[in-house]
């Protein structure tokens, strides 16, 4: 559909982009594609094209001349469809803060020529510290071998193990001789401590070696322990990976890993962490993850926005895929779209009275960027605006049922978050009350098992002023799983 | 500001669930829109003293459709809004269907808390199962969850085992 010579498309900006936007898009592309940092074939040529595009568009005179040569702007048929729903028809002028919920859905548009899922470039980063010994290690190896066997011929795969140092077990390459690779995986021996940074750095290096914008570049980290002292360095690595469009997913095995940290790490690239309660589940969950990677339509949707004074995004949560809370930052990394699972985000905005001196409040204005690996040129960003009329009276329309349903389940997850925060700040009484409320909702909805866990943790908090580390994760990922399962 | 009736926590205006106890804050938006099934029952009881409401007769004025509960013979008109969720309210849980079927032995008949939705758009009336445990049937055929099914006058819906006939106002 797109003309390779379209400079706007090359830079991924709209036809009416400002000079500032063009400059920013160029810097971003340069950072991503500069020949010094890039070894993937074809990218240098691509970078030269982008440079040419920038030379023309950054000069207003040459840009005007170039615009003359373009065919009349026809609205390009975007491959995604964006839907925005609000919890209320309007905002009300009042002297106290008010809430509005906004649900954003981004769906692949049904097209006659389906965009195929891109080939993978995936690195498995496996914790082989002493704590992984025996059954856990064996099950992990079996899971890795299972994944190896499910690869398609066009996929690039690598394996890195780490303890207090990292080893490249399988360098990034097409996997031709699976028998040999399989025996290499079987030889992994557990020993040493957990130093995540080592593994993450070596794993990212493998992904970068064959990084290619037309592939899905991803790292999957499996660990069962805490890392000490290198958290910030790891987060910095993840932020760098995000710029290069490399995704990071985290999987924690058992009770003794830091879920808050792993969530934050994966969150830097718009992904999330998963909890593997029992080693027997490693294989299933890892296979599901791989299966998900082969169904990716867009590896990442980001939202670049201008915040509105007095209308703050107080909370943002990805309902699907990869259910989990979003870190409020700019740009917002919203997450991936799968071919069969669209992206759905629920925002909570807190609107202050001072912002309401207008008839139409722009709650948020920005651009959505949808990265689709299988397309040669980036999509132009899409303008996105959340806005509501401001009136004297509240509208009478009830909130859309989808928002109520999502919130009814999200409320349980947030009660769990609240209880954890209360324990951390020493408010044990508050935490006990929150857990009690959570348990009664879970019981009423028929989730006896989870309600039971919550009640046990309530006792732990009362007696020991702390959660048990397994119970804490059972509740967090259990309430998260409720958001994923539709219906009742 | 909305004060939670369950725990007295003060939530900002626009809240839908109490941030303290998780109860649904049935703000004025929702309660006025809910059909008070108790009242409907009262009215119908009065009617019943005379004659039972004829099933095939035109449904209540202004309703775009009515639900005829076949077991009890009662008729619930659907007015004002274009979408009604059917289900049952149960103690302390945060989901509030628009139409609470508890008075009609919903629990015993296997109706889920949020069972199905009946919607109207320009000309059609549809029903969609919301992933209920015991399923939704139209004229004996089970629906696929989350897929809309067209309804016409006289169709018999079953939410689990609770049978309801749909009466559509003729245009």
pLDDT score at B45: 44
- Cα A440 to its chain centre, rounded Å, is 31
pLDDT score at A344: 92
CB within 8 Å: A397 and B24: no
Q: Locate the chain B residue with the closest alpha carbon to A414.
A: B19
Mean pLDDT for the stretch of residues A16-26: 81
- CA angle in degrees (0–180, nearest 5) for A143-A147-A151: 170
pLDDT digits (tens, 9 = 90+) for A252-311: 888 888 888 888 889 888 888 888 888 888 888 888 888 888 888 888 898 988 888 888
Here the ipTM equals 0.73
C-alpha closest to that of A25 among A54, A67, A66, A61: A54
pLDDT score at A346: 93
Q: Is A420 left (phi over 0), alpha (psi -120 to 50) or beta?
A: alpha
What string of pLDDT tens digits covers the 171 residues of chain B?
888 887 888 888 888 888 888 888 854 333 333 444 444 444 444 444 443 344 444 445 667 888 888 888 788 888 878 888 899 887 766 777 888 888 888 888 889 888 999 998 877 899 999 888 889 999 889 998 888 899 988 899 999 889 999 988 665
At A376, is the pLDDT very low, low, confident or very high (cuts 50, 70, 90)?
Answer: low
The neighbouring-strand residues paired with A250 are A221, A273
Please report which helix (H) or strand (E) contains residue B136, including its range: strand B136-138
The span from the CA of B3 to the CA of B102, in Å, is 26
C-alpha closest to that of A459 among A428, A480, A418: A428
| Chain A residues within 8 angstroms (CB to CB) of chain B | 87-88, 91-92, 94, 96-101, 350-351, 394-399, 401, 403-405, 407-408, 411-412, 414-415, 418, 437-438, 440-441, 444-445, 486-488
Q: Is the pLDDT of residue A106 over 70?
A: yes
- CA angle in degrees (0–180, nearest 5) for A104-A110-A112: 160
At A88, is the pLDDT very low, low, confident or very high (cuts 50, 70, 90)?
Answer: confident
Q: Is the pLDDT of residue A473 over 90?
A: no
Please report which helix (H) or strand (E) contains residue B43, including its range: helix B37-50
pLDDT digits (tens, 9 = 90+) for A110-131: 664 566 778 889 998 988 888 8
pLDDT score at A13: 77
Q: Locate the chain A residue with the closest alpha carbon to B133.
A: A488
Mean pLDDT for the stretch of residues A384-409: 84
Helices (H) and strands (E) in chain B, counts: 2, 13
Is-contact B33 A398, C-beta < 8 A?
A: yes
What is the token pair recorded at A26? 């160029």
All residues of chain A having their beta carbon less than 8 Å from the beta carbon of residue B13 are: 92, 94, 96-99, 394
Mean pLDDT for the stretch of residues A405-420: 88
pLDDT score at A407: 87
Is-contact A324 A480, C-beta < 8 A?
A: yes
Cis-peptide into A283, omega within 30 deg = no
pLDDT score at A8: 80
Mean pLDDT for the stretch of residues A455-465: 86
pLDDT score at A39: 59
């Amino acid at each position: 559909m797109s003309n390779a010579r379209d400079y706007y498309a090359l830079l991924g900006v709209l036809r009416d982009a400002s000079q500032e936007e063009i400059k920013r898009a160029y810097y971003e592309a340069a950072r991503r594609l500069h020949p010094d940092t890039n070894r993937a074939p074809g990218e240098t040529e691509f970078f030269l094209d982008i440079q040419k595009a920038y030379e023309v568009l950054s000069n207003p005179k040459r840009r005007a001349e170039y615009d003359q040569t373009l065919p009349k702007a026809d609205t390009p048929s975007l491959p995604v469809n964006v839907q925005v729903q609000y919890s209320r028809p309007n905002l009300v002028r009042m002297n106290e803060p008010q809430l509005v919920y906004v649900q954003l859905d981004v769906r692949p548009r049904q097209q006659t020529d389906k965009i195929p899922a891109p080939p993978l470039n995936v690195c498995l980063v496996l914790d082989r510290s002493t704590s992984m010994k025996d059954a856990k290690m064996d099950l992990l190896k079996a899971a890795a071998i299972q994944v190896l066997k499910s690869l398609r011929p066009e996929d690039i795969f690598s394996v890195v193990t780490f303890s207090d140092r990292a080893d490249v077990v399988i360098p990034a390459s097409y996997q031709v001789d699976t028998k040999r690779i399989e025996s290499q995986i079987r030889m992994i021996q557990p020993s040493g401590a957990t130093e995540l940074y080592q593994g993450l750095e070596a794993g990212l290096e493998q992904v970068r070696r064959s990084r290619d914008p037309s592939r899905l570049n991803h790292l999957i980290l499996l660990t069962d322990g805490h890392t000490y002292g290198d958290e910030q360095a790891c987060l910095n690595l993840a932020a760098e990976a995000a710029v290069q469009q490399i995704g990071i997913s985290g999987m924690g095995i058992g009770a003794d890993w830091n879920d808050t940290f792993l969530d934050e790490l994966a969150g830097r690239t718009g992904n999330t962490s998963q909890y593997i309660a029992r080693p027997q589940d490693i294989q299933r969950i890892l296979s599901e993850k791989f299966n998900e990677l082969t169904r990716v339509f867009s590896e990442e949707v980001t939202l670049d926005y201008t915040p509105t004074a007095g209308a703050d995004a107080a909370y943002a949560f990805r309902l699907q895929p990869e259910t989990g809370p979003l870190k409020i930052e700019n740009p917002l990394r919203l997450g991936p779209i799968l071919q069969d699972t669209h992206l759905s985000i629920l925002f909570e905005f807190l609107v202050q009275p001072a912002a309401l001196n207008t008839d139409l409040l722009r709650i948020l204005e920005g651009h959505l960027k949808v990265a689709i690996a299988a397309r040669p040129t980036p999509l132009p960003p899409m303008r996105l605006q959340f806005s509501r009329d401001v009136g004297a009276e509240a509208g009478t329309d009830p909130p859309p049922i989808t928002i109520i349903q999502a919130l009814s389940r999200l409320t349980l997850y947030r009660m769990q978050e609240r209880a954890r925060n209360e324990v951390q700040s020493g408010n044990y009484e508050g935490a006990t009350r929150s857990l009690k409320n959570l348990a009664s909702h879970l019981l009423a909805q028929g989730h006896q098992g989870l309600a039971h866990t919550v009640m046990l943790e309530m006792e732990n908090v009362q007696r020991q002023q702390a959660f048990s580390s397994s119970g804490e994760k059972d509740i967090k990922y259990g309430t998260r799983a409720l958001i994923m399962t539709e219906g009742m | 500001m909305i004060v939670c009736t369950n725990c007295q926590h003060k939530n900002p205006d626009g809240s839908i669930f109490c941030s303290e106890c998780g109860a649904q804050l049935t703000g004025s938006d929702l309660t006025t829109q809910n059909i008070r099934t108790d009242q409907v029952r009262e009215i119908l009881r009065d009617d019943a003293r005379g004659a039972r409401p004829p099933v095939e007769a035109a449904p209540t004025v202004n309703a775009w459709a009515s639900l005829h509960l076949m077991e009890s013979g009662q008729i619930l008109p659907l007015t004002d809004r274009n979408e009604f969720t059917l289900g049952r309210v149960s103690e302390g849980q945060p989901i509030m269907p628009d139409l609470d079927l508890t008075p009609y032995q919903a629990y015993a008949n296997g109706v889920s808390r949020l069972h199905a939705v009946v919607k109207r758009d320009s000309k059609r009336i549809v029903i969609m199962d919301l992933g209920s445990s015991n399923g939704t049937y139209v004229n004996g055929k089970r629906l696929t969850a989350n897929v809309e099914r067209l309804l016409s006058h006289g169709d018999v819906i079953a939410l689990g085992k609770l049978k309801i006939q749909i009466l559509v106002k003729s245009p």
